[in-house]
Amino acid sequence: MYRALANLKRDGLLRSCEAVPAAGSTRQVYTVTEDGHAALAAWMATVDEEKSLLTAVLKRYDVILDGPAGDDADLE
């Protein structure tokens, strides 16, 4: 987890600051940068596109398993 946070910080997608609690040790508090928000939005758009493609594949698979033989109308 800490390696991933360090890599995201190094890439400018996160920033951190130390937070001194009333008790216990100092903690790092991470916030997403503007570049981090943009990267996340781009990644989520890719995930959404992949989800759409996967949904289409699964629908075709369901037709093959459950559909009547010779009925290709649902494959389009």
Are 71 and 51 contacting, i.e. CB atoms less than 8 angstroms apart? Answer: no
Residue whose structure tokens are 């033989």:
69
Nearest 5°: CA angle at 30, between 25 and 31?
150
What is the chain's pLDDT, residue by residue, as a tens digit (76 residues)? Answer: 999 999 999 999 999 999 988 888 899 999 999 999 999 999 999 999 999 899 989 999 988 888 665 555 555 5
Name the token pair of 33. 């940068």
**pTM for this one?**
0.62
pLDDT at 73: 52
According to the model, what pLDDT value does residue 72 have?
Answer: 53
Write down the CATH number for the domain with range 2-70.
1.10.10.10
